[in-house]
């Protein structure tokens, strides 16, 4: 399938890769095997998988920080082990899960470290390096933070600076291990969107691991999905259509909601309730609230006890009597009390 | 901003020069400042004994203080960066313990050999060589380990364990030794800047110079190490070579200074923090020269304080550096309670 695409620049080619810890005390300890993946120029790739499945190990193999047990990783059609370390650092940059909090370290100085593989022994920053550092800081939107200490900025801002460092490193491939792990929701979206923008505008190939499936589906060109014994590759939409995501949590209570591109809890719904509303927004959110309380909601069914929503009033109707509430919360309190 | 920085550099440099000459000027024998300059420039004086005092005692002592202050401080800076630990210092690898083991074995271990015989056999040079052998042994072990061990924290813990082990051996030796040799050993542990002769200075200064030259090549490497070895590796740094060079220069500096002056505490831990505080940066291009100036200045100041009371006796330099250094370390701990985040 992927071999048919010849005209796109091939950046990374992983074939028959087995990852883990070679030569540990009891022989090789394999974590994941049979990995065949590829990455092309300008692609944003999200690596998805459960905790402990080997996402970080795979990324460490790609970035040359860890050796493979078998198989090989080719970067620009050359085995990564054949690169000299400084040549490799000019091609691949990495943001790990380690949070950099060094007192007195300026944003500019941290980004300037990206020029490390391009400068001489003394680390002399020339005009061309200065330009690349300034440009990298501007690209991630941190222009006004240049002289701030790295310890004085927020987690999301720090992550932007770490990304600026990889831009300054001027590599074909950027690899990030869970760049959104400790961020709040708006920052998660912004960071992944920034990666998307960089992959498109700067033509960088970017691989990042994440647990935020819905964000990855919205922004990534390609998903690498690590399941128990197989790794799937494809556009997020391909994986949705082919029901690959459903396999992710087959054994758990979660299921994949194709409409939202997100996982949901499969609830045991044992109580029936009808729902009538004249406003689709109120209908949606009342339905969500009732489902959270383990009701199985039947829209427009007035044969059973049902909730009617009129003009921001919630009326619970059953045979005995009608009761009116001015918020979903008060309705929920009542429903809890009668069950 | 730039002008302000430049001013700080000039003030610092002038301060160190002033402290250097003040250190030469002060002493039990009063020599007028004009005479001192005359001796330094022309080598002549109306009092021939002043020439001897200045050339053979005061100048070597001031140079020793300057060199030891510089060497210990940049050793401490390197160790704090490599181990990413604000309380690391030049002796964290166990270098001073190694040196004191060497001296203890010489003074205390062989005490049986010297009893009744001529005690003066043990001269200054022998102590220096013993200390150097001791710290060299520790250096060799640490370098061998650093080429094999991946985790830098393992090296830190091993360094501390070596230190504790040698301290234990030294205690046993102390227990079995006679009084006069024990006193000689205790005096050595107090540290001394004045005991370094002109001949010894010709060994100490080149050693410190080589250590400084190695460090001056390492500012880029140290900047990368600041954000952790994984990141440094991903930037294309040869970690093992970097560690080797850093440990080599640290051992050369701290090892030779300890051999000639005894273990001098706290300068190496405190000065890098003062440099960060003054220049508000973590960039080693600035921190290395700043640490050198501040370190040289601080030890000169400590030496001046140690002879200031006007008494004939000179206070042990180790007590002065401790009294100057401990408040700085305490201040660091209180100001920055998150230890790991200091660099």
User: pLDDT of A221-266, one tens digit each?
Assistant: 999 999 888 899 999 999 988 888 888 777 677 777 776 666 777 7
**pLDDT at position A261:** 66
Beta bridge pairs of residue A13: A38, A74
For residue A186, being part of any structural domain is answered with no
Contacts of B2 in chain A (CB under 8 A): none
**pLDDT at position A5:** 52
Answer for the pair B106, B127: CB distance below 8 angstroms, yes or no: yes
Domain range enclosing A287: 271-338
For residue A234, being part of any structural domain is answered with no
**pLDDT at position B116:** 47
Cα–Cα distance measured from residue A65 to residue B48, given in angstroms and rounded to the nearest whole number: 67
Element (H, E) at A190: helix A185-201
Residue with tokens 């330009």: A131
Q: Which of A178, A157, A98 is nearest to B84 (CA)?
A: A98
Cα–Cα distance measured from residue B126 to residue B134, given in angstroms and rounded to the nearest whole number: 12
For residue A223, being part of any structural domain is answered with no
Query: How close does chain A come to B234, measured CA to CA in Å?
Result: 6
CB proximity list for B213: less than 8 A, separation 6 or greater? none
Measured between alpha carbons, how far apart are the two ends of chain A, in Å?
A: 56
Angle between helices B198-216 and B59-82 (to 10 degrees): 30
Alpha helices in chain B (DSSP H): 2-25, 33-42, 48-52, 59-82, 95-104, 111-114, 124-148, 152-175, 179-190, 198-216, 219-225, 229-234, 239-261, 267-279, 284-307, 317-335
Instruction: Decide the pairing of beta strands A78-79 and A231-234.
Output: unpaired
**pLDDT at position B289:** 97
Which residue numbers in chain B have pLDDT < 70?
1, 110-123, 309-312, 333, 336-343
Position A64 confidence tier, pLDDT thresholds 50, 70, 90: very high
Q: Which residue in A104, A149, A177 has the most chain B C-beta atoms within 10 A of its own C-beta, making it the best mutation to test that interface?
A: A104
What are the structural domain ranges in chain B? 2-341
Q: Which one of A4-8, A188-192, A238-242 scores highest in mean pLDDT?
A: A188-192
Would you give the DSSP letter of residue A260? T
Cα–Cα distance measured from residue A110 to residue A107, given in angstroms and rounded to the nearest whole number: 5
Q: Which of A74, A89, A79, A100 is nearest to A170 (CA)?
A: A89
Q: Which residue has the higher pLDDT, B97 or A27?
A: B97
Cα–Cα distance measured from residue A71 to residue A182, given in angstroms and rounded to the nearest whole number: 33
Position A304 confidence tier, pLDDT thresholds 50, 70, 90: confident
Q: Which residue has the higher pLDDT, A163 or B137?
A: A163
Among left, alpha and beta (phi > 0; psi -120 to 50; other), residue A47 is beta
Position A113 confidence tier, pLDDT thresholds 50, 70, 90: very high
For residue A182, being part of any structural domain is answered with no
Report residue A82 as tokens: 């054949």
Cα–Cα distance measured from residue B1 to residue B299, given in angstroms and rounded to the nearest whole number: 29
Position A2 confidence tier, pLDDT thresholds 50, 70, 90: very low
For residue A88, being part of any structural domain is answered with no
User: pLDDT of B166-199, one tens digit each?
Assistant: 889 988 888 888 888 888 888 888 888 888 888 8
Domain B2-341 grouped into CATH 1.10.3470.10? yes
Give chain A's contact residues with B (Cβ, < 8 Å). 63, 65, 85-90, 92-94, 96, 98, 100-106, 109-110, 113-114, 116-117, 119, 121-123, 151, 169
Cα–Cα distance measured from residue A216 to residue A325, given in angstroms and rounded to the nearest whole number: 40
Cα–Cα distance measured from residue B255 to residue B87, given in angstroms and rounded to the nearest whole number: 19
Beta bridge pairs of residue A20: A30
**pTM (two decimals):** 0.84
Answer for the pair A262, A284: CB distance below 8 angstroms, yes or no: no
Q: List, as ranges, residues 225-264 from B with C-beta within 8 Å of A.
A: 226-228, 230-231, 233-238
For residue A174, being part of any structural domain is answered with no
Count of the separate structural domains present in chain A: 1
Contacts of B219 in chain A (CB under 8 A): 122-123
Q: Which residue in B82, B85, B236, B280 has the most chain A C-beta atoms within 10 A of its own C-beta, making it the best mutation to test that interface?
A: B236
For residue A330, being part of any structural domain is answered with yes
For residue A276, being part of any structural domain is answered with yes
Q: Which of B180, B187, B190 is nearest to B111 (CA)?
A: B180
Position A96 confidence tier, pLDDT thresholds 50, 70, 90: very high
Contacts of A89 in chain B (CB under 8 A): 234-236
**pLDDT at position B340:** 41
Closest Cβ opposite residue A102 in set B237, B280, B282: B282
DSSP string, B128-152: HHHHHHHHHHHHHHHHHHHHH---H
Q: Which of B199, B198, B173, B200 is nearest to B184 (CA)?
A: B173
What value does the mean pLDDT take over residues A267-294?
87
């Amino acid at each position: 399938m992927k071999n048919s695409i010849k005209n796109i620049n091939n950046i990374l080619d992983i074939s028959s890769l087995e990852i883990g810890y070679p030569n540990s005390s009891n022989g090789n300890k394999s974590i994941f095997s049979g990995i065949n993946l590829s990455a092309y120029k300008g692609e944003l790739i999200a690596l998805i998988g459960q905790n402990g499945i080997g996402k970080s190990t795979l990324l460490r193999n790609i970035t040359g920080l860890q050796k493979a047990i078998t198989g090989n990783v080719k970067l620009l059609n050359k085995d990564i082990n054949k690169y000299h370390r400084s040549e490799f650092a000019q091609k691949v940059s990495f943001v790990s899960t380690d949070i950099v909090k060094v007192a007195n370290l300026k944003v500019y100085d941290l980004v300037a470290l990206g020029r490390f593989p391009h400068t001489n022994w003394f680390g002399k920053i020339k005009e061309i390096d200065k330009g690349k550092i300034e440009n990298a800081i501007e690209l991630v939107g941190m222009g006004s933070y240049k002289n701030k200490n790295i310890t004085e900025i927020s987690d999301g801002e720090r992550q932007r600076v770490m990304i600026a460092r990889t831009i300054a490193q001027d590599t074909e491939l950027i690899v990030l291990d869970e760049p959104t792990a400790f961020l709040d929701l708006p920052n998660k979206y912004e960071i992944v969107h920034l990666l998307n923008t960089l992959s498109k505008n700067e033509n960088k190939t970017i691989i990042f691991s994440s647990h935020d499936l819905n964000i990855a589906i919205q922004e990534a060109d390609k998903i690498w999905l690590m399941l128990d014994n197989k790794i799937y590759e494809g556009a997020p939409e391909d994986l949705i259509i082919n029901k690959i995501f459903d396999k992710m949590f087959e054994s758990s209570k979660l299921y994949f909601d194709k409409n939202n591109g997100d996982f949901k809890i499969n609830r045991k719904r044992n109580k029936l309730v009808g729902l009538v509303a004249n406003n689709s927004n109120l209908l949606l959110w009342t339905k969500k609230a009732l489902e959270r309380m383990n009701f199985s909601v039947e829209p427009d069914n007035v044969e059973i006890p049902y909730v009617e929503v009129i003009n921001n009033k919630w009326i619970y109707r059953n045979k005995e009597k009608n009761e009116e509430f001015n918020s979903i919360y008060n309705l929920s309190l009542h429903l809890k009390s009668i069950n | 901003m730039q002008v302000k920085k430049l001013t700080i550099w000039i003030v610092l440099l002038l301060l160190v020069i002033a402290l250097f000459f003040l250190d030469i000027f002060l002493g039990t024998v009063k020599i007028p400042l004009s005479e001192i300059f005359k001796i330094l420039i022309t080598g002549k004086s109306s009092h021939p004994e002043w020439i001897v005092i200045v050339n053979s005692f005061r100048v070597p002592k001031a140079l020793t203080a300057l060199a030891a202050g510089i060497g210990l401080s940049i050793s401490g800076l390197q160790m704090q960066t490599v181990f990413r630990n604000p309380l690391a210092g030049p002796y964290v690898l166990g270098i001073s313990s190694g040196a004191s083991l060497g001296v203890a074995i010489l003074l205390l271990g062989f005490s049986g050999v010297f009893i009744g015989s001529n005690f003066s056999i043990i001269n200054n040079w022998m102590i220096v060589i013993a200390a150097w052998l001791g710290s060299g042994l520790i250096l060799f072990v640490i370098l061998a380990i650093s080429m094999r061990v991946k985790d830098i924290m393992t090296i830190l813990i091993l360094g501390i364990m070596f230190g504790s082990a040698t301290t234990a051996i030294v205690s046993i030796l102390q227990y079995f030794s006679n009084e006069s040799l024990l006193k000689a050993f205790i005096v050595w542990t107090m540290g001394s800047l004045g005991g370094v002769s002109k001949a010894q200075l010709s060994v100490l200064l080149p050693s410190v110079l080589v250590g400084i030259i190695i460090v001056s090549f390492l500012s880029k490497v140290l900047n990368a190490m600041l954000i952790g070895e994984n990141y440094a590796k991903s930037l294309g740094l040869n970690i093992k070579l970097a560690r080797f060079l850093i440990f080599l220069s640290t051992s050369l500096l701290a090892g030779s200074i300890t051999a000639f002056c005894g273990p001098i505490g706290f300068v190496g831990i405190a000065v890098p923090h003062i440099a960060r505080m003054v220049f508000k940066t973590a960039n080693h291009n600035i921190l290395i020269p700043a640490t050198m100036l501040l370190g040289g200045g601080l030890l000169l100041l400590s030496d001046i304080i140690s002879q200031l009371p006007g008494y004939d006796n000179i206070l042990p330099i180790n007590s002065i550096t401790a009294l100057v250094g401990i408040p700085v370390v305490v201040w660091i701990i209180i100001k920055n309670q998150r230890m790991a985040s200091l660099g």
